[in-house]
Every structure is written in structure tokens, then in C-alpha cells.
Structure 1
Amino acid sequence: MPTSQLLPRRAAAQVSDALADTRVVLITGARQTGKSTLVRVVAGDRLAERRDLDRAQDRAAAIADPVGFVDSPELLAIDEIQRVPELLLAIKASVDEDPRPGRYLLTGSSRLFGLIAAPDALPGRMETVELWPFSQGELDGEPDGFVDAIFALGPELRHSSTVTRADYAARIIRGGLPEATSREDDRRRQRFLDAYVQALIDRDVRQLSDIQHKGELRRLVRLLAARSATIVAPNALESALGLSRPTIVRYLQALEEIFLIKRIPGWSRNLGTRATAAPKLIFVDSGIAANELSVEARALLRPGAPFGPLLESFVLSELARQLTWSEQLVELSHYRDHSKAEVDAVLENRSGQVVGIEVKAASTVGLDDFRGLRRLADRLGDDFIAGIVLYTGTSTLPFGDKLRAMPVSALWQTSSPERA
């Protein structure tokens, strides 16, 4: 669907709440996800001035006189703060002298504290709001309430759907970047996504890491797209790329810092084990991953096409979006035990309650699809709230105690109980 109209963003309420009680608010996320637009919408008449560090003149002024650049009696917005991280010290001094909330509204396309040049920034003075590409609910005007609903209702949650496999494929290909979703012509969208990834490598990655092999980095992105929704170990990429393991580790970190990829940690009740468990990799935007594989929506449904891994990556990224606004404070992990029983997504709230989610590209589900969920349920006992297999069928079906098959569209078409 075209998105020339201004679509409401879930993050707007978070930013407004943060400005009411926090001195500095940072909106962070991938380039062209709508951060600057969100600033204008949320700040409105309160905005004294907006400065953009992607502009050479603004950047030169910031470097020459950081203290003067951030001097403002009213709310000051600064875009792409990672371009001049030295400004953070000037902002810190300013908000320490005048601790009123809502002093600065910053945006950044890199994770601020991963920057090589970033000084000791703003602990205790700043709240970060992560802005992802559009969710399916934002694009469709649907409630995006699955996470809160499944923790509140567990296996009592029901959902039916008219979304087809072809529609799921089209959604994966479209992704959620505003500029891409506004382009109805497939070729124009592909050209945009090609240029978008190349620009990230040429500009943003170079700010974060000493990149000596841009060609190999481009190959790495394509290789990661082919392994989307899998556990990716750097040492398994050495021979394919001809790069050393430390170099691959550094490049993966840079790609995550610019919000191109996200690594989902392995789940364990032992926090030490969780920290060292192998992560699963997804792309922040499914449209980018599909474009890197040169696959179109119709071709995605053919036998042998990567519909399954791309659908899983799509689901995981939709869940990750929802966790930035859900009432439940939830962490997202994946599960794999020594017997190789797996669960694609593990949602755990602060009370230790867990929802397990498997993703299947098929329109029918069988008992064997619940193997990993049953293993997780046996391990957790009463802390296991529900095990859901999200599939491309149309109905919610029972498969045992706390186990249900449910259409993928439940992710964005389900209402949160708090908002119902």
C-alpha cells in the first residue's frame, strides 16, 4: 500500500512521555525509518530549533563550538548526533546546569554507545526510544497487540485470518522502510533498497569501524541474508569471505550498530549461559533481506524458495518492534538444547513467565511442529504460559495443553487487552 499519508507511529507516545520527565531523549534506529518526521510530530510548537548534523554547515559549527551549538533555552532537536559525538559532553554540562525535562531531542542512526569516538555520554540523563521500520499494524491501521494479549490470555487467545500465503510473501518483500513501502513498482523499490544498503556501507559503517574491504562487506550482507533466521558463527564465514574471524566479528558488530541486522540471543534460565549462547541473526527489515536474495513475491512461493527463513525473520522482527511499545516488559530470545530441540522465539517477562513461538511457512500444522515447544513446556512447568505455532493457515487450533496453532497475522491484528 502507498504510504504518502503520514501514518501514526507507536513510538510517538513513548517519546512524549519521555520528554515530560527526562532531560534528553534519543530516538535511535535505522536510517529513513522516520525519526526526523517523528521529531516534528511529537515536538510540535515546543521545538525551538532543529539542527541536522548530516548538513556540512551544521556539522562544522558543532565541531567548532560545541557549547554554543547546544545552547538553547527551549527544546532543541539535533538530528544524526552520532556524526559529532563530542556534542554529548556539551549537552551533559548543559542539562546538569539546567535539569528541566525536555531539554534535548536527539536522533541517531547508529547505536550511540557503540561509537568509537563517543565520550562518556549521558548516564541517568537520557532515555532512548528505538524506532523500527513500519510494523504491519502501523501500515494497516491494526492494533499490534499480540505480545500483551498472549501474556494476558495465554492459550485462551483466539484469532482467525483471511491473510493468504501470497499476501504474507508480498508483505515480506515490501518490508517496512517508509520510502520502500511508498513505491508500488517492484523495480523502483529494488533500486531504492540496493542504494540504501550501499549507502549504509559507504557512509555509516565507515564511521564505526576501520573498513578495509568494502567489497567483502557487501558480500557479507548478501551471505547473511541467505542465512537469515539461523545461528551465524563468525568462524563459519571465514572461508566463504576470505576474511579473518576478528574482522568478521567487527563487521557484524558494525552492521548491528547501524540497525541493518539484529542478533537474537539464546535463551537460558542461567544468565551466564544466556550471555554466551550463540545468537540467531535476523534483518531489521525483511524487504532488505529479500532484496539481497534477489527474490520477488511470486517466486517466494515456489518450491525451494527461502519462504520459511524469510517468514521467520519477518515474524521475529515484528515481535522485536512490538516489544518497544508493549505494556509487558519482555525479552526476546531463541531456544536450542543439547538434543537440538528448538523454539524460534522465546518471550520472557519480568516475572519469569514464558511464551514460546514457532514459525511455519505451511498452511497446515502437525504434532511434530510442537516438539521444541513441548520440551520447553516440560522444562518450565507453571512458568510456561503458552506455546504458539504461527502458520499461514486461517484458524486457531488446539494441539494439547497450552499449545495452539495460530495464523501469523495474529501478530498485528490482535488487540492488547489494555487497549480493548
Structure 2
Amino acid sequence: MNLELFSQKLIGDDSLSVTKIIDRLAAWLSQQEDRGAGEAVACLLATRDDRVAEFAAQYLALLPRLHAEKNRVAQRLRGDESLVPAASRLVPWLSEQLLGEMIDDYLGSGEPYGPLFDIIYEVGLYQPALLRPHLSRIEDADVRFAMMSGSPDDYVPGFVDRWRRAQKAGALNLLARMRTEAAAQALLGLRADFSEPAEWETLVEMAGRLPDADERSGYAPASMGSVVDRGESPHVMGGSYPGELPLCPVCEKAAERVLTLSAAELPFPLSADPSFFWYTCACHALDFVTVKLAPTGLEVYYGPQGTAPEDNGHVVPGERALALEPHPNQLGISLDGTGGNSRHQVGGLPRWITPAPHPRCPECGLAMRFVASVDSGPTPFGHLAFEGTLYGFWCDACHVSSVQHQA
């Protein structure tokens, strides 16, 4: 049985939810020698079924790299208006030449919300510079908002003037979403205009600077992350973690290590390997986990700690790892996130679901730098067991990590 037939069998079973179909397809494909990449590509090069194409492209997007294969698939899907929306999942890996041709297809179609719209939406997130020359022809508000990332510096004086003349908060929101040094410096100069420091700090950090130190609010360069099997990357996800762990203050179930980054294998310098934790229960008692990585083990702030029982439950499906590859938008995506799309990231700036100030280190009191985010959604090994997105922050001087959860 091939992927097309297996997909159609699952799609035709009314008892299966979309989540169950995704997980069953992943379980079948991930057992293949190449983790199912060849089968997914072959299916996408042949299918005429838009439902099958969507599931196959969704799975292929979970796998790292494979640029040539993803471009070949997208080129084939481009030729069929019923199939081309599926190619939107592959936009982060597509060449600028192919994306430029797809943009021309979209503009030439005269359909603002036609079959190619999903492609344009993703291009706005990952390659906004390719769309910017066509700004006047883009009608969708979200796509135009996404295109704020990397906007020209000559936008800055106009936004600042709008703020000073009419106190238009939206002007500063747009300024922060430019994600550029010019925008950050302008916002740093407006501190006296704010009675609430948290609002100003959020804007400055979104633009790319810390409010209380001459540092970027994230680390460069930015990388996309894909969940792979243990041993395929040095950045560990799930599995056991030695010593005591944070405990839920309600049910006392232990948190699980979601991610440990190997400092030696990162493209930016850190003095230790940050580890990030999240709760395995559904109590929702706290929306953060903050720990210090001490020589004797974890020291948990703002809650109890203890050992994990054998039946503790898991956030990550098995012992896995996070493979990294360059992110196409190094400045940072401007449009707020939604969670549930398996869009993991290391370095760069956070794509908040709801913009918020960075947590402060409980040791030194300074704002912490963003270092990673783990999104909810499917993996080749099953779904991650939380909703929304986990944002990981790190104080390199104090070896303190903090996970903030939004959904």
C-alpha cells in the first residue's frame, strides 16, 4: 500500500479526527528507512486528491532540510490550482526564484483570496522582502502586517511622529514589528513617554533590544527546528533528566524536560547548556517554569520540586531531539503566532501569540534573552502534549532558564 491509498483509507473513516489521521500517517511513514520522506515526495508528485496532498505536505514539512525535494514538489503543485494550497506548508524551504514565480502567479490571477493566497500568506511570514515591492497590490491585512518585518529605516520617523502628535499606540506597535535596529533605538528613546514600564519593555524587546542592557533581546542567527529521533541532533528533547524536577503545585506531578540545547553545537555562544521544562499534567496552575541550573542540580523558583514517578506522563512523545537549520526570516516574524503548527525555533526573536515582556531573572533582576520556542502540534512520532507555544528564555550569567506558556 502506498501513501495515497493509505491516506484515502484514513480520510474515508468518519470515526477518525484530523489529529488521529495525522498521527496514524506519521506512525506509518516514520517507520520507513528515510522517515517516509521518499514516500511523501512520490505521493505529492503524483496525487490529484487535494486532501491527500494536504496531509502529505503537512508531514513532509515536519522533516528537516530536503530543500531539493520540497522545491520539486512545490513546482509540481503550482501547476494545479486545487493542489497548490498544500505547497504553502513548504514555503520556508522554497527558493527565492520559485517564490518569486509564485508571487507573479498570484498577482496575475487577479484573485486576492484565490488558490495561491496561502502561499502569499506564508511568504509574508518567512520572506517578506519578496512581497514588499508589491505592497500596494496586497489587500489582506494580516499579510501586510507580516510585511512589517525588515521594513525600511525611513519608516521610523513617521511612526515616531504619529505617536508624538496623536499618541497613536498602533504606530509604536508597527514600529516594534519592524524588528530592526533603527526601530529599537527609536523605541529606547521613548522611555519617558510611558507610565507603565511593561508596555515600553514589550515594544523594545519585540524590536530586538533589551530594555536594561546593551544587548539584543534574542540570539543570532535564528534557526528553524524539527523534531527528530534521539541521536540525530545534539539538542535533546524529552527523556529522563537527573535529579529533582519542578512539580505542579496542585497535583504534584513532575514537569518534563522539553529541550536541552547543546551550547557547543549552537551558532551563538552560551556558557552552559540551557534546559527547559514543562508540566505533564493538565492543571494549568502556572503559565511559567523557572529554574537555575546549579552544579548540584535544578533549583526551582516559584513552586515545589521533587522526583518524577514512573507513571508521570510525557510532554514530548519519546526520547527525541531538535534538528536545526537556518531560518529564512532572520529579523523575526512580525505577525503574532497561533500555536499548533510545529514551528519550532532556536535563536532570533519570539513570535508571541500575545506580545508580553520577557521574564526577569530571579537572581540578577535583568530581562532575560529569548533563546528558543517549542510549538505544539504534530511530530513524526506523535503530537506534543500541550497546546499553544512554550517560549524559552535564558540568563547566561546566572544559568537560569524560564519557560513562558501562551495558548
TM-score (norm 1): 0.26
- Structure number with higher relative contact order (C-alpha < 8 Å, ≥ 6 residues apart): 1
Q: Which of the pair is proportionally richer in helix?
A: 1
TM-score (norm 2): 0.27
